[in-house]
Structure 1
Amino acid sequence: MKRILVPIDFSTNALNALEYARELFNNEECIFFLLNVYVSNRSAMLSEEYNDTILDKMSDESEHELEVLLKKLIKNNNYSNHEFKAISVTDTLLKAINHVSISKKINYIVMGTKGAKGAKEIFLGSNTVKVINGINKCPIIVVPQNYIPKPPSLIAFSTNFKRTFYQNELEPLIEIVLSKGSKINIARIMDEEYLTNRQNINKETLKGLFHNLDYIFCKIDVGNSEAEALRNFTMQTESDLIVLIHHKQNFFQKLLEEDVVDKISFNSVLPILILPELK
């Protein structure tokens, strides 16, 4: 049974991410953990009793909203193999997600995002970046606000073959591909014309791991930036999902560095599956 964590702030983009997760795993038995995080910073200017009152009120509101959402989901549940559980905590978003992902043995985290505040061209908002950088062992799926949920028929998997591949690292992607009958475009985004011996060895390793999947290899010229090259490639091929391994040698890691996020726009209209680097 899949165990899916969906952070919920009751916004449109968070609910859309939940719908995407349900569509993606519609033919599998799943428990969806709906996590609402509320933060209350105690004020030194107020009494302990008043601080407790405020915290209790926030807790009640969180639990009430989750209860309303659960009732709605259960009433309109078209998938009998899906069940839902609500979790309400006071903490930072990252700490809460990290704790729940470990304690509930989460298989995937699915997040909605509407981009950084005041910078509409940036697809990944600050909370999303913090979660991606702070969660090391769990695959994360990021869903754009206006994306209409549908199963992925064509997946763009970006790699430069500079590191080897591992079965457990790629397993979340393989599971989705086999479940949905998806095709994979393995996109090599790099300036060099030819692969090194090491890269060729890594490519052969990937072929072995993907031996029962439908895939092709594609080379993409970088041009102005790797992010722009990948974005253009996915648009031209009409891809449905972008997949990246979160390691230091791809552009995604560079994109997540705080000094770069403000300068690079990655306004993908597609969901992104970020696989953690494992060995």
Structure 2
Amino acid sequence: MKRILVPIDFSDNALNALEYARVLFNNEECTFFLLNVYVSNRSVMLSEEYNDAILGEMSDESEHELEALLKKLIKNNDHSNHEFKAISVPDTLLKAINSVSASKEIDYIVMGTKGAKGAKEIFLGSNTVKVINGINRCPVIVVPQSYVPKTPSIVAFSTNFKRTFHQNELAPLIEITASKGAKINIARIMAEEYLTDKQNANKEILKSLFQNLDHIFCKIDVENSETEALRDFAMQTESDLIALVHHKQNFFQKLMEEDVVDKISFNSPVPLLILPELK
């Protein structure tokens, strides 16, 4: 049984991410853990009694909204292999996700990219970035706010072949692609014209890992930035999902090192499947 964690703030973006998770794993036996996190910081300006009252109200509101959402999901659930459980936690989002991911042995985290008040031009909000950088035990799938959930048929996978991939590292990508009968377009994004011997060796390893999947290798020319190149490639090939391993040498890490405004401005047209790097 798959165990899927979906952070829920009851915004349209979060609910859309939940719907995407249900579509992506529609044929799988799944338990969806709906995690709502509310602020637990006590104010030093307020009395102990007042702090307790405020936190109590937050807890009651969180549990009430989760209960209402659960009832709605159960009532409209057309997949008998799907069940839903609610978790309400007074903590920071990252700490709560790390704790629940470990205790519930989560297989995937599926989340929206911003909350209800996010600006339209922003794709990766600060909370999303913190989760991606702070989670290293399971894949994170981030879903654009306006994306209409559908089963992926073409996956763009980004690599420069500078590192060796491992079976367990790519297992989530292989699993999703195989279960959906999707094609993988392996996007080689690099300025160099030719691969080194090491890169060619890594490419052969990747071929063996993808040998039972429909896949092709593509070279992408970088005119402005790697992020734009990958985004344009995904759009041109009508990809439904962008997959990459979150390691220090790939475009996502470079995105994190850019100017603070640019960090949250990568506007992907489709969901991202971010695989943790396994040493």
What TM-score range do you get, normalising by the shorter chain? over 0.9
**Counterpart residue number, 2:174:** 174
Q: Does the CA contact (< 8 Å) of 2:9 and 2:115 recur in 1?
A: no
- Partner secondary structure for residue 239 of structure 1: coil
**Counterpart residue number, 2:262:** 263
- TM-score, normalization by structure 2: 0.97
* Aligned pairs (5 A) from 1:81-230: 81-114=81-114, 120-230=120-230
- Partner secondary structure for residue 262 of structure 2: coil
Q: Does the CA contact (< 8 Å) of 1:115 and 1:123 recur in 2?
A: no
Residue 274 (structure 2) pairs with residue 277 (structure 1): no
Q: Distance in 2 between matches of 1:168 and 1:189?
A: 23
- TM-score, normalization by structure 1: 0.97
Deviations 1:2-43 (Å, cap 9, x if unpaired)? 000000000000000000000000000000000000003212
Q: 1:116 to 1:228 in 2, by over 3 A?
A: farther
Equivalent position amino acid for 2:87 in 1: I
Q: Distance in 2 between matches of 1:118 and 1:144?
A: 12
Deviation of 1:122 after TM superposition, in Å, equals 3.3
Q: Distance in 2 between matches of 1:227 and 1:48?
A: 48
| 5+ long unaligned stretches in structure 2 | none
- Partner secondary structure for residue 231 of structure 2: helix
Deviation of 1:118 after TM superposition, in Å, equals 7.3
Q: Distance in 1 between matches of 2:129 and 2:18?
A: 19
Q: Distance in 2 between matches of 1:43 and 1:275?
A: 38
Q: Distance in 1 between matches of 2:99 and 2:22?
A: 23
Identity level (%): 82
Q: Does the CA contact (< 8 Å) of 1:254 and 1:260 recur in 2?
A: no
Equivalent position amino acid for 1:238 in 2: E
| 5+ long unaligned stretches in structure 1 | none
Q: Name segments (4+ residues, structure 1) moved above 2 Å.
A: 114-122
Count of residue pairs the alignment pairs up: 278
RMSD (Å), alpha carbons: 1.4
Deviations 1:170-201 (Å, cap 9, x if unpaired)? 00001101110000000000111110000000
**Counterpart residue number, 2:68:** 68
Deviation of 1:225 after TM superposition, in Å, equals 0.5
Q: Distance in 1 between matches of 2:119 and 2:77?
A: 36
Q: 1:261 to 1:185 in 2, by over 3 A?
A: farther
Q: Does the CA contact (< 8 Å) of 2:13 and 2:115 recur in 1?
A: no
Equivalent position amino acid for 1:276 in 2: P
Q: Distance in 1 between matches of 2:274 and 2:41?
A: 32
Deviation of 1:48 after TM superposition, in Å, equals 1.1
Q: 1:10 to 1:270 in 2, by over 3 A?
A: same
Q: Does the CA contact (< 8 Å) of 1:160 and 1:189 recur in 2?
A: yes
- Partner secondary structure for residue 249 of structure 2: coil
Q: Distance in 1 between matches of 2:128 and 2:155?
A: 21
Q: Does the CA contact (< 8 Å) of 2:114 and 2:128 recur in 1?
A: no
Q: Distance in 1 between matches of 2:119 and 2:151?
A: 29
Q: Does the CA contact (< 8 Å) of 1:161 and 1:199 recur in 2?
A: yes
- Partner secondary structure for residue 142 of structure 2: strand
Q: 1:161 to 1:175 in 2, by over 3 A?
A: same
Q: 1:53 to 1:80 in 2, by over 3 A?
A: same
